Amino acid sequence: MSADNGIYILSTPRKRGPGREYRVAHLQAVENMEYDWNTNKLTADKRVWIVNAREMWEGAKVYLVKGDALNAAAAMYDEIMESECPIVEYGIRFVEVEVPF
C-alpha cells in the first residue's frame, strides 16, 4: 500500500517586488493541485493550480529564503521519521507555480 505522501515546498513569485515565496507542507496526493474540479480533468492552467495550492498550503508559514524553507522541510521530515508512522514516500520536493499565492 502506498502512503502517497511527501514534504512539499511550494515556490511562487512574490506579490510585490522581486523574489519568491516558499511554503512547506506535509501532503498526500499532491497531484490533485493540477486537477480542475469544474471539468473533472487534469489541467495545465496555472490559475487552477494556484487555487488548489492555496487550499493545500493554507496556513503554511511563508519563507522568503529558499534555504530556510528547505531547513523547515528537513525538520518536518525528521519529525515524521521519528514518529510511530515513519513514512515519507516521496521525500522532500519543490513544486513551482508561476502565479503569486
Tens of pLDDT, residue by residue over 61-99, are: 999 999 999 999 999 999 999 999 999 999 999 999 999
Is 101 domain-assigned?
A: no
Is 22 domain-assigned?
A: yes
Domain count of the fold of the chain: 1
Query: What pLDDT, on a 0 to 100 scale, did the predictor assign at position 1?
Result: 63
Query: What pLDDT, on a 0 to 100 scale, did the predictor assign at position 17?
Result: 92
- Cα 26 from chain centre: 8
DSSP-based three-state secondary structure for 66:
helix
Q: What percent of the chain has pLDDT over 70?
A: 99
The model carries a pTM of 0.94
The rounded mean pLDDT for the chain is: 96
Query: What pLDDT, on a 0 to 100 scale, did the predictor assign at position 49?
Result: 97
Question: What b/e readout covers 83-96, taking b as 16+ CB neighbours within 10 angstroms?
Answer: eeeeebeeebeebe
- Domain of 73? 5-96
- The DSSP H or E segment spanning 47 is helix 46-56
Residue 40 is classified by DSSP as T
